[in-house]
Amino acid sequence: MHWGILIVVYPYITGLVAGAFILASLERVFNVKEIMPTYRLSLLTALSFLLIAPLPLLLHLGHPERFYEIMITPHLQSAMAMFGFVYVWYLMMVLILEIWFEYRQDLVVLAREESGLKKYFYYLLTLGSLDLSEKSLQFDKKAVGFITILGIPSAFILHGYVGFIFGSIKANPWWSSVLIPIVFLFSAIVSGIALMVLIYGISTLLRGKSINMPCMDKLATYLLNALIIDLSLETLDFIHRVYESVESIHIMGQMISQKLFISLIVVQLMLGTLLPIVLIVVTKTFNVPAELRRLVYFMAAIFVQIGIFSTRWNVVIGGQLFSKSLRGLTNYKMELLGIEGLLISIGLLILPVVILIVMIKILPPWKEDIGAAS
C-alpha cells in the first residue's frame, strides 16, 4: 500500500491546526467572550501542530533532507506543491504575525522585567518595537483582527486543500467526491475544538487553577454544533453514494461491512460521533453538576479525537483497501519500527505537544485578568 499511517497523521495534524485556529478566530471575529481563556492557547496549539504538519509528508516521500527543494524550486502546476505555498502563507502571514501582534505588549513587558539572556531573547522577539503607547496598542489590536479575518479563509484553504487532494482523485471512487473538502473542514473544526477542550482543561488543572465552566460549556456547544454538521455532511455523502449506486457500490459496501467495520462504524460513527453527541446533549439537557459536566466534556473530547483519527484512517487507508478494478479487497500491514511505522507516527503526534509546552514557557498564554475562575 502506497500511503500508510504517516499519510493518516498528516490530515489529522493539519485538521487540528485549522480547527484550533478557527476556534481562536471565533473570539476575535465573532466576539465570543466566553472562550477568551482559550484564545492564545489555541493560537500556540495551532502553531505547534503546524510546525510538525509537513514532517509526515517529508518522511513518507523519502530523503527528508531534501525538504528545502520544494521551497526553492516549486512546481507551479503541481497540486501537491500547493501545500508548500498554503503552508508558508499560513505560517508566516497568519499564525506568526497574529501571535506576534497579540504578544507584542507582553514581550515588551517581559523584555523589561527579565534579566540576563532572557532579557535579550525577549528583546529580539519584540524586533525592537518597544512602543506601548495607546495608539500603538490599538494598532496591534486592529492588526490581530485583520489577520484573523484573513486567517479564516486561510485555515479553510489549508485543510480544504488536503481534502481537495483526496477528493480530486477521480480514479478512486472512495475519495472522488466534491464533498470531501467540506467534510474534511468540518471534521477539522470538530477535532480542533475537542483538542482545545483537552488542552485547556489539562493545562488549567496542571496550573492548579479552577476551570472556567462558562468557557467549557461554550466549547462543548460549539463541539456539539460542529459534530452535528459534520455528521450531516457525512450522511449526505453516504446517501448520495448509495442513491447513485455506481458500479463501485458493491465493493464499497463489502469494504465497510468487513475491513472498515470496526474503524468506520464502531469507532468513527458510534464512539467518535454519536456517543459524544449523546453525552453533550444529555449534559446540556439535564442539570448536571459542574464537576460531572467537566468530566463528560473531557470524555467526549477524547472520543472525538479517537473518532477523527479513525476518520482520517478510513479515508486514507480505506481508499486503498480495494483493488483498482473493484474486484476485491486488499490488506494494509502497518510497520512498527520503520520510517513509515507506528512508532514514528506516535512520535509525530507527541512532538507538537512538546513544542507546545516549550512555547507556553516562552509565551505564557495566561493573563491573570482573564479566565476568572467560576
Note the residues at the interface with another protein (CB under 8 A): 68, 71-73, 75, 92, 97, 100-101, 104, 127-129, 131, 136, 139-140, 143, 323-325, 327-330
* Closest CB 119 distance from another protein, rounded Å: 19
Q: Which is nearer to another protein, 3 or 139 (CB)?
A: 139
Q: Which is nearer to another protein, 143 or 265 (CB)?
A: 143
**Look-up: residue for cell 539572556?**
117
Longest dimension (CA), the chain: 70
Q: Which is nearer to another protein, 136 or 225 (CB)?
A: 136
Q: Which is nearer to another protein, 228 or 256 (CB)?
A: 256
* Closest CB 1 distance from another protein, rounded Å: 13
Contact 22, 32 (CB under 8 A): no
**Look-up: residue for cell 460513527?**
269
Pick from 322, 200, 220, 224: nearest CA to 274:
224
Q: Which is nearer to another protein, 69 or 291 (CB)?
A: 69
* Closest CB 106 distance from another protein, rounded Å: 14
CA dist 88 and 190 (Å) reads 24
Q: Which is nearer to another protein, 92 or 282 (CB)?
A: 92
Contacts of 13 (CB under 8 A, 6+ apart): 49, 52, 53, 56, 348, 349, 352
Name residue 314's amino acid. N
* Closest CB 363 distance from another protein, rounded Å: 17
Contact 272, 312 (CB under 8 A): no
* Closest CB 127 distance from another protein, rounded Å: 4
* Closest CB 75 distance from another protein, rounded Å: 5
CA dist 49 and 82 (Å) reads 19
Contacts of 37 (CB under 8 A, 6+ apart): 200, 204, 212, 215, 366, 370, 371
